[in-house]
Amino acid sequence: MAKELDIVSWNVHLNTFAYDNNYVVETLESLNEPDIVCLQEYVGGRDEITRTWFDEHDYELAYLPFASFPSDARISQGVMTATKKILQASVEPIVLREDQPRRFRNFPNIRGLLDCTIRLGQQDVHILNFHATFPRPYTVDLRQREFASLVGHLEKYNEGSPMLLCGDFNFFGKDTRKERLTTDYDSFTGTRTDKTWRHKNGASPLRANLDYLFWTKDSLDVDAKLLPFNVSDHRPIHACFTMI
């Protein structure tokens, strides 16, 4: 029987993470060192606490920065994937779009994902760590190009290659991108009453299901659950999976 692996996907909230990321370590400790950790809004250059914990617990790290802080180019935010060294994973950064500064986004900016390949049983499984651009009036074309590139990348796994895609997709309301992915793949997110995201002001009624797992149908057996909020405005998703 194929080995069961567990994964955590979590938007850790860049502003909080950059100030003090002890809470990330606390969550990972409580889960008894997951096999795979996919973090979004990870802040490179302000991650010493988290990076030290990963190093001490035998993880390999891969990081894809999306943008540097205008005030300090040594600090950046993006997606990070950590895998236990015993898994001998290989991770490839995939850039989905690349844009120069604009009127409302005065910094060079890319979006992409980390494509992690792990041998599970007799077959390779791809774990994709993704963070979509936030929906604003001036990011419509960015999101359209980004999603088209994402779908193009996913097509390579539609025939025979098991794939699990996780992250913060920034789906609000009736989003056609969400409908496309939930039609093509099995999925997990929050419910109507138990959302994955809430406004940073805990008293605010603003809530949504922004964080998802998607995986190729009839290829993986996935058992997922939401973890409690811990400092970040997003809840971690913790899942165990095996080959079908």
pTM: 0.95
Task: Give the total number of structural domains in the chain.
Answer: 1
CB 190 within 8 A of CB 178: no
Give the pLDDT score at 102: 73
> Rounded to an integer, what distance in angstroms lies between the CA atom of residue 189 and that of residue 201?
22
> Rounded to an integer, what distance in angstroms lies between the CA atom of residue 193 and that of residue 180?
23
> Rounded to an integer, what distance in angstroms lies between the CA atom of residue 240 and that of residue 220?
10
Q: What is the extent of the structural domain holding 222?
A: 5-243
- Whichever domain contains 37, its CATH number is 3.60.10.10
Q: Which residues in 100-219 belong to E strands, given as ranges?
A: 109-120, 123-131, 163-168, 186-188, 197-198, 207-208, 211-215
> Rounded to an integer, what distance in angstroms lies between the CA atom of residue 129 and that of residue 8?
10
> Rounded to an integer, what distance in angstroms lies between the CA atom of residue 200 and that of residue 207?
10
Give the pLDDT score at 2: 56
Two tokens, residue 60: 């390999």
CB 43 within 8 A of CB 51: no
For residue range 96-118, list pLDDT tens digits in order.
Answer: 999 887 776 677 799 999 999 99
Give the pLDDT score at 61: 98
CB 22 within 8 A of CB 56: no
CB 99 within 8 A of CB 108: yes
